[in-house]
């Protein structure tokens, strides 16, 4: 069996453990590895919530231990134009966008990929938990789920195309997170115990509402239940997402004439947003009919193979960290598609991505525009 070819690979080093182990594994395999740290946000560099400076120090320390060069590249202008502007537009339209999906398609696998190619790279690599392979029969590149089901990130990569996938490597997608941490400790990486980042890339760990407040005009309005009773006031529809339970500022409702302490204390969930009337509709109980949908429409579709799937049975996720749900896809095209789920889906949210799978293979997806 012939040895796999060696490449000049540019690795996106974020300062985290996954990208650090990615760089180490590629170097160990004999590739020529160069690290790049991407700076995507600079509106408030001095803020306590902005970890960019600390992350760069960590990334540089990792590069030093592994023995590779690292370059600091600023994509803040591209990020603001291509990702953040769209993020704000979606929020103002009452939807809940997923900026990580857009960031991967527009920054990591476009601006970063282009930059890497200018540096003479043959491939790029990131610390995503996903896998890529070339199908021997069709010669098409396929995106597969990462082997660690609790960490799989193919959902966020579903907008990648053939040209992007053909240049991409995801070494940690073949491993479980525990193995990645173990490798980091064995080779004494300085960030081996660094906790995973949880925030949206440009928001970091800061309070989300405070952040959005600076960019979006908001108009308070009424919170109504499914019977039209006023329960309180919302601070602006953009700050709420379907299925949200925390931060509503409302308690149980007591029927007229009910005894003290006899109110219904089942939790409240955001179920609808009425932009025209500026009202937030909430319901009690996780399985209220308003929170369940059998059908959805999606737009702005992107298919990894370049072709939309045929009508028929398939699996889909309507949010990250959700089990694949069986469904039928209808009228799939580059414009969009319709999904029908035999089993109702919970809190399907316009603005989020509906991502389609055939077993472990991610086919692509689109942005949810409507739920039925």
Contact 280, 134 (CB under 8 A): no
Residues 162 and 76 placed together within one structural domain of the fold: yes
Q: What is the pLDDT of residue 201?
A: 63
The domain that holds 256 is classified in CATH as 2.30.30.280
Same domain, 164 and 72: yes
Q: Does residue 121 share a domain with residue 23? A: yes
Of 259, 286, 313, which closes a domain? 286
pLDDT of 193 reads 83
Residue 1 pLDDT > 50, yes or no? no
Say if 1 falls within a structural domain.
no
The answer to whether residues 25 and 138 belong to one domain is yes
Q: 116, 124 in Cβ contact below 8 A?
A: yes
Average pLDDT over residues 281-288: 96
Question: What is the Cα–Cα distance from 104 to 165, expressed in whole angstroms?
Answer: 12
Instruction: Give 325's pLDDT tier (boundaries 50, 70, 90).
Output: very high
Choosing from 286, 317, 347, the residue where a domain stops is: 286
On whether both 340 and 309 belong to a single domain, the answer is yes
Q: Are residues 155 and 228 in the same domain?
A: no
Q: CA geometry: angle at 319 spanning 329 and 197, to 5°?
A: 145
Q: Are residues 175 and 58 in the same domain?
A: yes
* 111-115, 201-205, 241-245, 339-343: least confident range: 201-205
Is 18 in the same domain as 91? Answer: yes
Phi and psi at 327, nearest 5°, equal: -160, 170
Structural domain includes residue 206: no
In this structure, the answer to whether residues 45 and 134 fall within a common structural domain is: yes
CA separation for the pair 336, 224 (Å, rounded): 33
**Does 107 fall in a domain?**
yes
pLDDT of residue 73: 96
209 inside domain: no
Residue 308 belongs to domain spanning: 291-371
Same domain for 308 and 277?
no
Q: Answer yes or no: is pLDDT of 47 > 70.
A: no
Q: Look at residue 151 and tell me if it is in a domain.
A: yes
Residue 90 pLDDT greater than 50, yes or no: yes
SS3 (DSSP) at 284: strand
Identify the CA nearest to 128 among candidates 109, 110, 114: 109
Segment 113-119 shows an average pLDDT of 96
For residues 346, 348, 353, 354, the Cα torsion angle rounded to the nearest 10 degrees is 70
Instruction: Note every long-range contact of 212-217, with CB atoms under 8 Å and residues 24 or more positions apart, other chains counting.
Output: 212/91, 212/238, 212/239, 215/88, 216/88, 216/91, 216/92
Cα–Cα dist 213/357, whole Å: 36
CB 206 within 8 A of CB 52: no
50 and 98, same domain (yes or no): yes
Backbone angles phi, psi at 267, to 5 degrees: -65, 150
Task: Out of 52-56, 112-116, 203-207, 214-218, pick the least confident.
Answer: 203-207
Same domain, 14 and 151: yes
Query: What amino acid positions are annotated as catalytic residues?
Result: 103, 201
Question: Residue 174 burial by CB count (10 A; 0-12/13-18/19+): exposed, middle or buried?
Answer: middle
For the chain, what is the domain count?
3
Please state, in angstroms and rounded to a whole number, the distance separating the CA atoms of residues 117 and 103. Answer: 19
**Summary mean pLDDT of the chain:** 91
Domain final position from 286, 302, 328: 286
The dihedral over CA atoms of 338, 340, 341, 346, expressed in degrees to the nearest 10, equals 50
Which CATH number do you get for residue 177?
A: 3.40.50.620
CATH number of the domain encompassing residue 342: 2.40.30.10
Residue 3 included in any domain: no
Q: Is residue 105 part of a domain?
A: yes
DSSP state letter for 213: H
- Assigned domain for 212 exists: no
């Amino acid at each position: 069996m012939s040895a796999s070819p060696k490449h000049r690979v540019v690795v996106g080093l974020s300062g985290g453990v996954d990208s650090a182990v990615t760089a180490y594994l590629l170097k160990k395999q004999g590739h020529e590895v160069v690290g790049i740290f991407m700076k995507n946000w600079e509106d408030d560099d001095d803020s306590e919530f902005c970890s960019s400076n600390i992350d760069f120090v960590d990334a540089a320390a990792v590069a030093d231990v592994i023995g590779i060069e690292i370059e600091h590249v600023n994509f803040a202008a591209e990020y603001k134009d291509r990702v953040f502007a769209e993020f704000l537009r979606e929020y103002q339209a009452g939807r809940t966008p997923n900026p990580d999906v857009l960031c991967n398609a527009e920054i990591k696998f476009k601006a970063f990929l282009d930059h890497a190619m200018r540096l003479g790279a043959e491939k790029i690599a990131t610390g995503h938990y996903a896998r890529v392979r070339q199908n021997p029969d069709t010669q098409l590149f396929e995106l597969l789920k990462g082997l660690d089901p609790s960490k799989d990130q193919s959902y966020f990569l579903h907008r990648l195309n053939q040209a992007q996938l053909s240049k991409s490597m995801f070494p940690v997608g073949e491993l479980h997170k525990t193995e990645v941490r173990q490798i980091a400790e064995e080779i004494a990486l300085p960030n081996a115990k660094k906790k995973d980042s949880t925030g949206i890339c440009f928001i970091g760990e800061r309070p989300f509402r405070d952040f959005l407040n600076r960019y979006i005009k908001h108009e308070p309005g009424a919170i109504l239940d499914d019977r039209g009773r006023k329960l309180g006031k919302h601070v602006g529809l953009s700050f709420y997402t379907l299925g949200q339970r925390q931060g509503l500022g409302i308690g149980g409702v007591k029927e007229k004439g009910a005894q003290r302490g006899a109110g219904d204390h089942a939790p409240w969930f955001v179920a609808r947003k009425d932009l025209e009337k500026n009202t937030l509709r909430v319901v009690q109980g996780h399985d209220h009919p308003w929170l369940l949908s059998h059908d959805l429409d999606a737009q702005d579709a992107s298919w990894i193979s370049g072709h939309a799937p045929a009508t028929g049975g398939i699996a889909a996720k309507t949010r990250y960290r959700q089990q694949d749900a069986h469904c039928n896809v209808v009228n799939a095209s580059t414009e969009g598609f319709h999904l029908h789920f035999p089993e109702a889906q919970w809190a399907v949210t316009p603005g989020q991505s509906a991502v389609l799978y055939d077993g472990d293979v991610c086919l692509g997806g689109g942005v949810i525009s409507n739920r039925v």
